[in-house]
Structure 1
Amino acid sequence: MDYFIIVVTTAAGLYFHWWLFRRIRQWSDRDLALSLADGDEPKRQYMLEQLARAREEGVRRKELPAWLEQAAVRYPDRNA
């Protein structure tokens, strides 16, 4: 019974750490996208859409900052 408890708590702890790691990565990616929006609400929505598009296209995490910066540059400025 002792081994069962050790295995279950270890598995639960590893799963929790994996889950937390994934959530922190998602939050940091979202924060990066929103930081490139410069507080402009339509651009914030656009950048979140671009983040979702990057995930769909399978953009690697190393390439994500540059990819999002290019997307921010391509943003159609509606005030001009």
Structure 2
Amino acid sequence: MNTDWLIVAAVTVPALLLHAILFVLVRRWMDRDLALSLAGEDPARRAWMLERLAQARRQGVRRRELPAWLERAAAGYPAVPS
């Protein structure tokens, strides 16, 4: 009976860890996609928005507040005259 529990634990623990890792990665990808979608196609603005995303992470902006925070950051992009 002990080997049954050992097998269950040996399979369950890595599966839970894999799910936790995937959950964190998908959230990061979603945040990155949000920042890039607010940046548009301009490569300089995309890089700038990714830096704002990194800044938000350093400041500890809550995930619920992140979309509004990134929208404000996108609105504050320094305009370069054409």
TM-score class, shorter: over 0.9
Q: Percent identity?
A: 52
For 1:28 and 1:46, the matched residues in 2 are separated by 17
Q: Show the counterpart of 2:52.
A: 50
Unpaired segments ≥5 residues, structure 2: none
Unpaired segments ≥5 residues, structure 1: none
TM superposition shift of 1:67: 0.1
Higher-Rg structure is: 2
What do you get for the CA RMSD once the two structures are aligned? 0.9
In the alignment, structure 1 residue 29 sits paired with structure 2 residue 31: yes
Aligned residue-pair number: 80
For 1:78 and 1:9, the matched residues in 2 are separated by 55
The residue identity in structure 2 corresponding to 1:29 is D
For 2:81 and 2:10, the matched residues in 1 are separated by 57
- With normalisation by structure 1, the TM-score equals 0.96
TM superposition shift of 1:49: 0.1
Deviation sequence 1:21-72 (CA, Å, 0-9, x none): 1000000000000000111100000000000000000000000000000000
For 1:52 and 1:5, the matched residues in 2 are separated by 41
In the alignment, structure 1 residue 74 sits paired with structure 2 residue 76: yes
Q: Residue 81 of structure 2: SS of its match in structure 1?
A: coil
For 1:32 and 1:66, the matched residues in 2 are separated by 11
